[in-house]
Structure 1
Amino acid sequence: MTLTASPSGSTVAEAEAFLAAHPEIEAFDIVLHDSNGIGRGKIIRRHELLSLYKSGRHLPISILGLDICGEDVHETGLIWDQGDGDLRAWPIPGTLVPLHGTVPPRGELFMSMYDLEGAKMTSDPRHALQAQVDALAAEGLYPAGAFELEFFLLSNQRGADGKVQPAADVLDGRASHKTEVYSVDHLHGMLPLFNDIYAGAAKAGIKAETMISEYAPGQYELTLHYREDVMQAADDLIRLKRIVRMQARLHGVTACFMAKPNEVYAGSGMHFHVSMRDASGRNVFVEAAEGKWNETILHALGGLRATMGESMLVFAPHANSWRRFASQSYAPVSPTWGVNNRSVALRIPAGDIKARRIEHRPAGVDANPYLVAATVLAGIRHGLKNKIDPGPETTGNGYEGGEDAPAIPVDWRMAIEAAKNSAFLKEALGEDMHRTFTAIKAAEYARVMRTVSEVDYDLYLYTV
């Protein structure tokens, strides 16, 4: 069957207007995001863009069944079970943007996968998030949010010990191995790179905001403007990672989005701030009197606490992700909630009561923002539907106590098993996305466990 209209809602007029406004652009990165949040796709030439909008682009179904190395995971059912046939990717409306600093000039376009008849390919992470947004809309609720982006800027060369080391300032080559948390002067040394990151974000229509020197040598945080559409918030985060990575490379350093690149210092999170509006635009998390929490926000917290354990694989999807969780490391170690408290997993930030929201803190920056947002929204829906009590607020040091909190996995293998067996996560992601994601994670776990690492040699070569 030949489709006469894009199932994503994209139009040829959008592409024609973009080409007219940007005669300098010669090529486009067309990007589809897999379960790990990795951009897969092609670079097409300018003259190919209109045909892409008219009829989509054939891509193999297996592109959504790849592991972190880009290799097929047969257990997803997306490879030979399907004959590795082609499906059709279509442009996502509003995601066609120019890139900053490319020679020759290029643009970027996000794609999403559909079958040949135009039905959504449900192992596509975007569709998983959209399903939760649609479910909330059917219940009269509309989520808004923003992600925080933490990352490291590293030298392209390892240190004498073989470990990664912070990048020297791109301004003048000055090096620092100090933590430098909140140092404004330290930020100045990276200003040429940061200026290009902001320029790239602006070209892409992303409102990148505050830059912070974070709690480790070479670590930074960049905040994003709050969006009334959580799909847009996820798009902002995943596109900004690509901008940071590309601009860092152009400046001769490496942008690192591992959750924990250095065992001595804090890791990098991807905190998700989320609120809910009703049909009139009212924030339903706002309490009548400040500090007197309403049932809606409490039930939302209750749902997130109750489902956090079986969802941890989404928030910590890789072997390295689990090195981030350590006491007093600014990463939560149990599903606690509190107010203006950075030691808990679910934080109600201080600030204007009209902007009341939940800061969901477990996810590392290595997680897929589409799947994180889908799982968080599903957890909130679960709490609202079942009117779940979140239990008492955690005050003071959230790393102490927490014995009454629901159990969460303590390592990657436990998280994989919990996710596989979770009826909640199957509903949150959809059956196909759940099968694809957990199969890929199991395959990656097997790869790590059969690899003889430097740690093995260090511990055992001369001692056992």
Structure 2
Amino acid sequence: MTDPDAFPHLPGADRQALRAIDGCSQVDLLLPDTNGVLRGKRIGIEALDKAFGDGICLPMSLVASDITGNTVEETGLGYDIGDQDRVCRPIAGSLRPVPWTATPTAQLLLAMEDDAGGQFAAQPRQVLARVLEGFKALGLVPVLAVELEFYLFDARPDAQGRPQPALDPVTGQRSCSTQVYSIDELDVQHVFLEAVAAACRAQRIPAEAAVAEYAPGQFEINLHHRADALLACDEAVLLKRTIKAIARQQGLLASFMAKPLAGQAGSGLHLHVSLLDRDGHNVLTGSEQAAAGALRHAVGGLQRSAQDCLLLFAPHANSYRRFVANAFVPLNDAWGFNNRTVAMRVPRSDAANTRIEHRIAGADANPYLVAAAVLAGMLDGLYHRHDPGPPVIGNAYAQQPAWQPHWLGAIERFQSSDFIAGHLGETFRHVYAQQKLRELRDFQAQVVDLDYAWYLGTV
């Protein structure tokens, strides 16, 4: 057993967690970047106390690496400052086991400091922390629950190099049917799902339910609600890591791409939010017939900020392929009760659990940044008492004009947004916009198969 007393700098909760990892010999130090990719270092257990005491150094540019892992020089975090290191420190209470490794391993989330010893403003966890300060000023505590959809593919692509459904372990066949909420579909992949559930229990990740979704091999896993928004997003990030790792272990590929298959459902990240006052009362509590003023104002704020925040909900080129009609993906800023065609849904529940389900983000989005954007919109709505208009009854697709979102437009709107600068910070606005502009330019510079199919012998 690893002796926690050999590490005097460990906080109490981390000390207790380490005690439970028999023979722990290494630690993964994880820094979530703005794309939600976990970067960092693997250290020997003997260096753990130093990590807590002195911190570890990582390049500042890591926070805004592009999706391929390259430094984005336009952010000003690369050559312009000599690719400087910054001190990163473990987040107290985040030590958990890594259940899928052969070597007993722990993992810790990191936070990066700026050159003055404060938190670096562009890291996604700090962007969310900044928004939460606004709720403290109002005496409110956001309660969050994250739902994540993903595809489970065979690790081997098809003959064209494209993803294909995993084989049924019993029949050896690939599913081609859509059986939403099918228990049989869960049974087919029960070995994978049970392994994910066990790994979540070992890490204290409150995975609550799994369902089969609207396409072959598509699933959704829900996390239990938390009255700690940072912890809720920490757990969402670790859940994604867990799902991917268990899939690899079983010869599968788990993908959180927003739209991995043409003609099939996209994958979303749905965020459920309620708000508690100082007495623990949910200020959104009400009914369809008499919606609370706080709920209406919060929805109104989400409507007004939706376009400014679209880049956070749809951060990648592929994200925009998800926005198609009649696919349970919001194409406008409608809201309503018990209605899956709207962007801001108030799910059916008892009055005390009244909440807003925000449905715009794709599963490819960064949970910290989705939460920051949603909470900032709600906060703005509460401050300014925005009116959302009447709730939509019936099919929102048929009642309101559809958005036609595209990546460049979302970047330009984000880059010029006073809302983003005011709520999420000017430093983050600059860094994230430059990162996404670089990714867009690199993406557009590629010549893809469709170019050849349409143009090579035609024009």
CA-CA distance at 1:345 after TM superposition: 0.4
Residue 309, structure 1, aligned to residue 304, structure 2: no
Q: 1:436 aligns with which of 428, 431, 438?
A: 431
Residue 423, structure 1, aligned to residue 418, structure 2: yes
What is the match of residue 349 of structure 2?
Answer: 351
CA-CA distance at 1:169 after TM superposition: 2.9
What is the letter of the counterpart of residue 204 of structure 1?
A: Q
Residue 100, structure 1, aligned to residue 91, structure 2: no
What is the match of residue 321 of structure 1?
Answer: 319
- Structure 1 pair 19/351, CA: closer, same or farther in 2 (3 Å)? closer
What SS class does the counterpart of residue 421 from structure 2 fall into? helix
- Contact 2:22-2:104 within 8 A present in 1 as well: no
* Whole-angstrom CA distance in 2 between matches of 1:216 and 1:20: 42
- Contact 1:312-1:408 within 8 A present in 2 as well: no
What is the match of residue 259 of structure 1?
Answer: 258
What is the match of residue 219 of structure 1?
Answer: 218
CA-CA distance at 1:11 after TM superposition: 4.3
What is the match of residue 195 of structure 1?
Answer: 194
After superposition, the C-alpha distances for 1:394-446 in whole angstroms (9 at most, x for unaligned) are 1111111314xxx9562111111111111101222211111111111100000
- Contact 2:21-2:105 within 8 A present in 1 as well: no
- Structure 1 pair 15/208, CA: closer, same or farther in 2 (3 Å)? closer
CA-CA distance at 1:216 after TM superposition: 0.6
What is the match of residue 136 of structure 1?
Answer: 135
CA-CA distance at 1:12 after TM superposition: 4.5
Residue 293, structure 1, aligned to residue 291, structure 2: yes
TM-score, normalised to structure 2, is: 0.95
* Whole-angstrom CA distance in 1 between matches of 2:50 and 2:326: 53
* Whole-angstrom CA distance in 2 between matches of 1:18 and 1:331: 40
What SS class does the counterpart of residue 201 from structure 2 fall into? helix
- Structure 1 pair 89/232, CA: closer, same or farther in 2 (3 Å)? same
* Whole-angstrom CA distance in 2 between matches of 1:172 and 1:204: 33
* Whole-angstrom CA distance in 2 between matches of 1:68 and 1:170: 33
- Structure 1 pair 458/79, CA: closer, same or farther in 2 (3 Å)? same
Q: What pairs up with 1:343-382 in 2 under 5 angstroms?
A: 343-382=341-380
- Structure 1 pair 131/55, CA: closer, same or farther in 2 (3 Å)? same
What is the letter of the counterpart of residue 152 of structure 1?
A: Y
What is the letter of the counterpart of residue 386 of structure 1?
A: H
- Contact 1:16-1:50 within 8 A present in 2 as well: no
What is the match of residue 57 of structure 1?
Answer: 56
After superposition, the C-alpha distances for 1:310-329 in whole angstroms (9 at most, x for unaligned) are 11000000000000001101
* Whole-angstrom CA distance in 2 between matches of 1:397 and 1:15: 49
* Whole-angstrom CA distance in 2 between matches of 1:21 and 1:240: 20
**RMSD between superposed Cα atoms in Å:** 1.5
CA-CA distance at 1:116 after TM superposition: 4.8
What SS class does the counterpart of residue 308 from structure 2 fall into? helix
After superposition, the C-alpha distances for 1:193-250 in whole angstroms (9 at most, x for unaligned) are 1111011111111111111110011100111111111111111111100000000000
Residue 392, structure 1, aligned to residue 387, structure 2: no
What is the match of residue 5 of structure 1?
Answer: none
What is the letter of the counterpart of residue 378 of structure 1?
A: A
- Contact 2:18-2:96 within 8 A present in 1 as well: no
Q: Which moved more, 1:226-235 or 1:313-322?
A: 226-235
Report sequence identity in percent: 41
Q: What pairs up with 1:235-250 in 2 under 5 angstroms?
A: 235-250=234-249
What is the match of residue 401 of structure 1?
Answer: 399
Q: What pairs up with 1:178-193 in 2 under 5 angstroms?
A: 178-193=177-192
* Whole-angstrom CA distance in 1 between matches of 2:307 and 2:115: 37
Structure 2, gaps ≥5 residues long = 1-8
- Structure 1 pair 238/246, CA: closer, same or farther in 2 (3 Å)? same
After superposition, the C-alpha distances for 1:299-343 in whole angstroms (9 at most, x for unaligned) are 000000011011100000000000000110111011110111101
- Contact 1:29-1:44 within 8 A present in 2 as well: yes
* Whole-angstrom CA distance in 2 between matches of 1:40 and 1:208: 24
What is the match of residue 3 of structure 2?
Answer: none
* Whole-angstrom CA distance in 1 between matches of 2:342 and 2:64: 34
- Contact 2:14-2:94 within 8 A present in 1 as well: no
* Whole-angstrom CA distance in 2 between matches of 1:172 and 1:21: 40
CA-CA distance at 1:348 after TM superposition: 0.4
- Contact 1:64-1:78 within 8 A present in 2 as well: no
- Contact 2:14-2:92 within 8 A present in 1 as well: no
CA-CA distance at 1:81 after TM superposition: 2.5
What is the match of residue 268 of structure 1?
Answer: 267
CA-CA distance at 1:157 after TM superposition: 2.0
What SS class does the counterpart of residue 42 from structure 1 fall into? strand
CA-CA distance at 1:22 after TM superposition: 2.3
Q: Which moved more, 1:160-169 or 1:342-351?
A: 160-169
* Whole-angstrom CA distance in 2 between matches of 1:162 and 1:60: 35
What SS class does the counterpart of residue 126 from structure 2 fall into? helix
What is the match of residue 121 of structure 2?
Answer: 122
What is the match of residue 331 of structure 1?
Answer: 329
What SS class does the counterpart of residue 211 from structure 2 fall into? strand
Q: Which moved more, 1:306-315 or 1:113-122?
A: 113-122
What is the letter of the counterpart of residue 303 of structure 2?
A: R
* Whole-angstrom CA distance in 1 between matches of 2:385 and 2:19: 53
After superposition, the C-alpha distances for 1:375-401 in whole angstroms (9 at most, x for unaligned) are 111101111111110012111111113
* Whole-angstrom CA distance in 2 between matches of 1:351 and 1:263: 34
- Contact 2:155-2:251 within 8 A present in 1 as well: yes
What SS class does the counterpart of residue 423 from structure 2 fall into? helix
Q: 2:443 aligns with which of 408, 425, 448?
A: 448
CA-CA distance at 1:162 after TM superposition: 3.8
- Structure 1 pair 12/285, CA: closer, same or farther in 2 (3 Å)? closer
CA-CA distance at 1:170 after TM superposition: 4.4
- Structure 1 pair 298/15, CA: closer, same or farther in 2 (3 Å)? closer
* Whole-angstrom CA distance in 1 between matches of 2:434 and 2:325: 30
CA-CA distance at 1:16 after TM superposition: 4.0
CA-CA distance at 1:75 after TM superposition: 1.1
- Contact 1:374-1:429 within 8 A present in 2 as well: yes
* Whole-angstrom CA distance in 2 between matches of 1:18 and 1:293: 43
* Whole-angstrom CA distance in 1 between matches of 2:220 and 2:101: 24
Structure 1, gaps ≥5 residues long = 1-9
- Contact 1:209-1:224 within 8 A present in 2 as well: yes
What is the match of residue 4 of structure 1?
Answer: none
What is the match of residue 76 of structure 2?
Answer: 77
CA-CA distance at 1:33 after TM superposition: 0.6
